[in-house]
Structure 1
Amino acid sequence: MRVLLFQAPVSIRSPHAHLSPPLGLAYVAQFLIDQGHEVDLVDLNLTGLNPLRITATLNRARPDLVGISSHTETYPNALAIAALVKEHDPSIPVLFGGPHTSILPLEVLAEPAVDYVAIGEGEQTAAQLVRALENGADSAALVRIPGLGHKGDGTAVLNEPREPLDAADIGRPARQLLSLEFYEDAHNVLAARGGCPYRCPFCSASHLWGGLRRMRPVADVLDEVADVIRDYGAQHVFFVDDILTLDRTWLAELMDAIEERGGFTWGCATRVDRVDDAMLHRMAQTGCTGIQFGIESGAQDILDSVKGIQKEDALDAVRSAVDAGIAVACSFMIPFPDDTEETLAQTAAFMADIREAGGKLLISYTTPFPGTKFYERAEELGLTILTRDWSLYDCKHMVMETRNFSAERIEALAENIANGLGLSQTE
């Protein structure tokens, strides 16, 4: 079959944002290619939501199935793409996937232009759906596909959940389908495909993956690194996993293998309580040049409730990384449900301490994404969700109020904090 995959675009791109290739969709694409299907992949972040271009792409690709992936922020644009597909040819089935779809599958299936949803990892679900479509897509076949949502006799049907892929069965993303020359550092983005066992109330990862802990074999990861070095001239790779250092044994094996094979530098994201001084210096010795920590708040009472880390550990981690020669970026969010003027002042002061220690500061608005505790228990936590215009769920707009702050007050405080630290609020 001919399959056309669209990555839904953001409406407004921050000048500080780095445009990265859609790895998740590229994994689905390669899985389908390996099954013998013809696949096109179009990232509309490169061109914007241009109806004429989308129609031209549909005319060129002549797809038997269109797949559309989106995050919460890009979901309205995903719906616009689906409407264009149906306007072009109502007989083309449309499959939705991505984090927003996985969390709110029934809401997505209720849309007239959406025929199917893939919940969780989409590789196998998409491949089995294509096979079912080739064979006539009878309802008996559809209900046997784990992770698929579909429309029965006028009723939305969600099949049994799909188990995540075994680490050894994870393939490679179809980088050959991406216009890599248009991305910043596009060749160097890799995923070890690890999960996150933590349940931070502002993050939907636990809802999506249920505490999944899984890492690809080190040899496979470094074979992919070798491929992007050979094929695209990459000299640096960034691992996009939430917590690369979660499994210390795996990380030690990775660093040993990097020392043996070498030839590149690398960066990652992790938690401050999943590193120590010796680990960070070892990471630097094996080529780690950048790391991002999610610190989120500078008030210990707030950290106890939303992150479970200690301020001292955060400052120690930043100092150790900087001492080892690793560039450090630290993200903060405001406000949390129990934040007060006092705790926000503590956060601003701690951000100044982090910067003095050598860390770059990143600040954003706390956003109650679907699938998070802040979304699902908003009333209990004293949160008022102001809008469900998903396009505003970009961490740059205030979409909620707390028991202590109006949106206008938080915006003013955020501006004061940013100005006091010499930051842009979009950083």
Structure 2
Amino acid sequence: MKVILISMPDVTPIIVHEMALHMPNHGIASVGGNIDTEHEVYLIDLVRKRRSIKKYLTKVIGTIKPDLIGLSAMAWQYDTCVKIAHLIKELRPEVKIVIGGYHATLMHEEIAASQEAKWIDFMVRGEGEEACRRLVNALDGRDDLAAIPSLSYKKDGLFVHNPRGENLDLSTLKLPIRDKRRLTWGYHIMYSKIELVETSRGCTRSCNFCSMRHMYGRTFRTYPISRVLADIDDIYYKRKTRWIFITDDNMVLNPSRVVELCDAIIARNYKGLNFVVQADCVSMATHEPMVAKMAAAGFRSVFLGIENGSVKNMSSAGKGDIPAYSKKAIENCHKYGMMVIGGLIFGFADDDAASIKENYEFFREIGADAAYCQILTPYPKTAMRQQIIEQGLLTNATDYKKYTGLWANVRTKHLDAEELQYQFWYQRQVVLGWWNPPASARKHGVGWTSIWRFLFKPFLKLRYRLIMRKHGWRGRYEKEVARWEQMNRFTDLEPY
């Protein structure tokens, strides 16, 4: 069997410009790496082919002539996913298409009843490694579709949804694909090569805006330390890459394991290896020895889910007194030279212009180095979405393409969706202003931070000064919105 696994081209510039950061898709790499070796497997990350999707897929599909193509998409990428499925069926009608990822997992019943179901043959819900492996074998005549947990397949033209399978034993999974079977290349973080590693899956926190529990339940599972080291070795020695993003939902839930992993990394004596990770404020605030060990092992940057400076808002989101923990977590990270990217969420029910401004001011006061700012997004099947619906605050229920965090799909008690989105953008410009790279970023990224400080930022300041003179804040904002509108518009896919 010949299999191609494809991830979507849609991007969102939450932290930096969308061209400054391109990371490979770890999900399709892991699924592909666990398909039995007698099959031919190829990976395509369309984020690297954003300007020539149809031309590229026409060439590759015509050359490989695959039997099965897998498409992975989140909610905001699903519209593109459907267009690509339509294109693929036009290029090769006999090929089978399977979709997976968060959206297929959460919305499989709705997808099965939709118009686009005619382009889709299978859906994998939840973890994909075992279900996809068995699906390929079944299409090769060596397994039974009806016996594969977590698989949805068609019978007499209608989807049948097999029962969900148990969570996988992570110790049994093989390494992801990073070799020549990956047909797209050029992944970078500020133009340094980057790869991804997974050390655990799941999170036991109670955040009600997160859809993670639909993928894994409220669980936390870890890979064996030896497996993680083998993964790092593959990146360090074979791929000659020195930046690794750890994809875990919340790596630091088990601090003693983090320390054990860091000790093992230190003992490996990698030279110039840098890690980027996401973590929760509570663990980083209350386990300073763990933070110190992470820094010693090469962890250079951490994303912290601060979310909001209001205790009331955090309570409504199912989180505790995160503002208090966030201050200590940032202090711990800075003490050991780690750069902090703080996550902020706006658009809670009681937000008005003043509270949005206050939240940005809170962020500035606690000293995080960069901001990951989003508007509260009512992802399908989350408790937060139901809460928003009950409050009558949902303004966009079906256009998932705008569920990126940039767009206001809700209103508040004081702001309509349009004004919420404007205040979200405007107050950031006024309160946070232009980004000044911290010392940790300048130390480990002398080249790109210098380009930003002495070339791009002065140029952009001049450009926006001219825009402001002519159009003012609203005019500048409208130009930004127009750019966002075009960002994930793929003209060669529009006929589909």
TM-score, structure 1 as length reference:
0.92
In 2, Cα distance between the equivalents of 1:174 and 1:368?
33
Q: Name the stretch that deviates more: 289-298 or 169-178.
A: 169-178
Shift of 1:388: 1.7
User: Paired residue for 2:300?
Assistant: 289
Shift in alpha-carbon separation, 1:234–1:302, aligned structure 2, 3 A? same
User: Paired residue for 1:6?
Assistant: 6
User: Paired residue for 2:17?
Assistant: 16
Q: Name the stretch that deviates more: 185-194 or 272-281.
A: 185-194
3-state secondary structure, aligned to 2:230? helix
Shift of 1:280: 1.5
Aligned 1:216-365 pairs, distance under 5 A: 216-263=223-270, 264-275=273-284, 276-306=287-317, 307-341=319-353, 343-354=355-366, 357-365=367-375
Shift in alpha-carbon separation, 1:344–1:358, aligned structure 2, 3 A? closer
Aligned pair 1:129/2:131, yes or no? no
Aligned pair 1:94/2:106, yes or no? no
3-state secondary structure, aligned to 1:416? helix
**1:293/1:331 contact within 8 Å kept:** yes
State the superposition RMSD in angstroms.
Answer: 2.2
User: Paired residue for 2:44?
Assistant: 42
More helix by share: 2
User: Paired residue for 1:215?
Assistant: 222
3-state secondary structure, aligned to 1:66? strand
Shift of 1:408: 1.8
In 2, Cα distance between the equivalents of 1:13 and 1:308?
28
Aligned pair 1:181/2:186, yes or no? yes
**1:187/1:232 contact within 8 Å kept:** no
3-state secondary structure, aligned to 1:280? helix
Shift of 1:253: 1.0
Shift of 1:174: 0.4
Shift in alpha-carbon separation, 1:187–1:408, aligned structure 2, 3 A? closer
3-state secondary structure, aligned to 1:227? helix
User: Paired residue for 2:442?
Assistant: none
In 1, Cα distance between the equivalents of 2:276 and 2:251?
10
Q: Name the stretch that deviates more: 306-315 or 48-57.
A: 48-57
Shift in alpha-carbon separation, 1:231–1:323, aligned structure 2, 3 A? same
3-state secondary structure, aligned to 1:384? coil
Shift of 1:93: 1.2
Shift of 1:229: 0.8
Shift of 1:118: 0.4
Shift of 1:285: 2.3
Q: Which runs of 5+ in 2 are unaligned?
A: 436-476, 485-496
Aligned pair 1:369/2:374, yes or no? no
**2:73/2:101 contact within 8 Å kept:** yes
In 2, Cα distance between the equivalents of 1:377 and 1:358?
30
Q: Name the stretch that deviates more: 265-274 or 233-242.
A: 233-242
In 2, Cα distance between the equivalents of 1:365 and 1:97?
26
Shift of 1:377: 3.9
**2:275/2:298 contact within 8 Å kept:** yes
In 2, Cα distance between the equivalents of 1:116 and 1:299?
44
3-state secondary structure, aligned to 1:143? helix
Give the partner amino acid of 1:315.
Answer: K
Identity %: 27
How many pairs were matched up? 421
In 2, Cα distance between the equivalents of 1:387 and 1:314?
32
3-state secondary structure, aligned to 2:119? coil
Shift in alpha-carbon separation, 1:362–1:239, aligned structure 2, 3 A? same
**2:48/2:186 contact within 8 Å kept:** no
In 2, Cα distance between the equivalents of 1:116 and 1:83?
14
Shift in alpha-carbon separation, 1:410–1:315, aligned structure 2, 3 A? same
In 1, Cα distance between the equivalents of 2:11 and 2:220?
33
**2:263/2:293 contact within 8 Å kept:** no
| Deviations, residues 167-195 of structure 1 (Å, cap 9, x unaligned) | 21122110113333344355432111321
In 2, Cα distance between the equivalents of 1:208 and 1:403?
32
User: Paired residue for 1:170?
Assistant: 173
Q: Which runs of 5+ in 1 are unaligned?
A: none
Q: Name the stretch that deviates more: 403-412 or 204-213.
A: 403-412
**2:24/2:187 contact within 8 Å kept:** no
**2:106/2:381 contact within 8 Å kept:** yes
